[in-house]
Copies of this chain bind each other. A is one copy, B any other.
Amino acid sequence: MNDHPSGEEVNRVDCLGTAGVPSPLRLAPKYREGMPSFVSDKTRILLNIELRSDEEFGRGESFEKAGPRAELYFQPAQTKAAIVTCGGLCPGLNNVIRSAFLELYHNYGVQQIWGIRYGYAGLDPRNGFPPVRLTEELVDAIHNDGGTLLGSSRGRVDPAIMVDFLAQEKFDIVLTVGGDGTTRGALALAEEIQRRQLKIAVVGVPKTIDNDIPYVDPSFGFATAVARARDILDSAHAEAKGAPYGIGLVKLMGREAGFIAACATLASQQVNFCLVPEQRLVLEGDRGFLEVLRRRMLDRKHAVIALAEGAGQELFGETPKEVDASGNVKLHDIGALLRTRIVEYMAERGPKVNLKYIEPSYYIRSVPANATDALLCDSFARHAVHAAMAGKTAVIIGYWNNKFVHVPMRTVVGQKRRLHLHSDLWRSVLATTGQPSTFGPLG
C-alpha cells in the first residue's frame, strides 16, 4: 500500500444521482457565525502530505518532518541534557520524562541526564531545588503514575538567570514540557542563549490538556482527559436522573478552546448541553439558554450540562485583567454564575430543580496516561530527543495530520487552536445533544 492509487479511480465516487431534496439538517448553507455548514462534493482531502524533495516545494506551506537525523550536532558521550516539566498537571508527563530519558540513554548513549525540579523555578538556584540525576531505576515505573516525578510550577524566571545556571552546569540540551507560557519562556531562553552565542539546544514537548496548541492535534493527555471527563459526565447523568427535575452541571477544562467539553460530550452521549468558549452564550430571553433548558426540564425532567470553564466570559462585561503565574488571564467563574442563575430561574418559573454541581479538574488531570496517550507521549519525547541531538533549537514537536513535525516556537507562541463551529466535531456535538446551534435571538 505504499503507492497511492491513481487519481481517476479515487476521484470517481458513485452516486445514485441528484434528486435535489433539501436537507432537513439545521445547518447553514454557507458559513455563518456559530453554525456548521454543509459540505460540497468538490471539497477534497489530499492523500499524500509528505514532500520528499526540494522541487516539490511551493505546493503550500509545510513543516520540517521530525525524526532521527543521520548526523548529529552533539557528541552523545559528552552531552549533558536536562528535562523540565512546567505548568499544571497533565496525564502523561511521567511517560514523556521516561521515554526522553530512555531514548537519550539507551539509544543515543547520553550519560548525563538530569531532571529539573518544579518547572523553571528549578533553573533558578536561589529557589533551592537542585536538579535530580535521572537513572533507569528512578524512571522505571513512573509511567504508571499520574503527576510528574520532577514536580512542576507556574511562573517565569529571568532568562538570564536560567542561562547562567545552564552554562555553569554545562548543559547542552534542555527539553521543556509545557504549554503556551512554557513555550514563551523557552523561546526567551533560546533567544538569550543565541545572544550569548552559546550552543545549548532548547526543544519543547507541547503540553496542553485543552488541546489548544496550534499544529499539535491531539496533544498528549487529551485522550485520557476526555475519557475521565466522560466518566464524570456519566456520573452527572446518574445524578440528574436520580432526583426529581435533576440537573447535572459539570465544569470542565477549556479556557479558550472547548475540545474537552465537546469530545467528552460525544464520548458520553448523555449530555444535553455543551457550552464552549467559542460560542457566544446568551442566558436570557425566549431563545436564551435558561429558557431552552427550562423547556427541556418540563419535557424530559432531567438534563446534563458540560460546561467549559472559558465559556460565557462575555456575560461578565469587561474582559478579566488579572493574570496568574503562568500569564493566563484569570477567568470569571461561569460555573458559579450558571449554577445560581439556573436555580433562580427555575425557582421563579418552575419546575424547582435539583442541581448537582461538579468541578472535577484536579481529578481529570492527575491520572496516569491511558494507552492512547502512553503511545503519543513516547513519540513526542523521542522526537524531541532526535531534534535536540541534531542541534535543532527553539522548536516544539508538532503533530499535524498524523505526522510529527518541527514547529518553530515563534510560530505558535501566543496562538491558540480553537474549535471551529463549522467543523465535523461541533456538528456532531449539536447532533448528539440536540441543542440549538445558537442561543439567543436569531441573527
Contacts and interface: CB of A to CB of B under 8 A. Distances in A.
A411 B374 contact: no
Given A59-B59, A68-B27, A152-B243, A21 B75 contact: yes
Contacts of A243: 118, 151-153
B363 A16 contact: no
Interface stretch (A157-165, A339-347, A391-399, A435-443): A391-399
The 8 closest A-B pairs by CB, nearest first: A147-B238, A39-B67, A227-B371, A146-B238, A16-B391, A44-B62, A267-B371, A38-B70
25 contacts: A1-B417, A4-B61, A10-B63, A13-B395, A14-B194, A15-B393, A17-B391, A19-B71, A21-B74, A23-B68, A24-B108, A38-B69, A41-B64, A46-B46, A46-B50, A46-B51, A49-B401, A141-B145, A144-B144, A144-B145, A235-B363, A263-B375, A266-B378, A382-B427, A401-B402
A405 interface: yes
A401 B186 CA distance: 29
Residue with the highest number of chain B CB atoms closer than 10 Å, among A89, A238, A390: A238
A190 interface: yes
Nearest to A302: B151
A269 interface: yes
Copies in the complex: 4
Given A267-B374, A267-B375, 14 more contacts: A1-B416, A17-B73, A21-B72, A21-B73, A38-B67, A39-B69, A44-B57, A44-B65, A47-B62, A129-B244, A147-B238, A147-B241, A151-B246, A231-B363
A61 B74 contact: no
A207 interface: no
Contacts of A7: 61-62
A311 interface: no
B19 A393 contact: no
A336 to B, nearest CB: 14
A302 to B, nearest CB: 9
Residue with the highest number of chain B CB atoms closer than 10 Å, among A18, A366, A405: A366
A78 B182 CA distance: 52
A102 B431 contact: yes
A223 interface: yes
A34 interface: no
A15 to B, nearest CB: 5
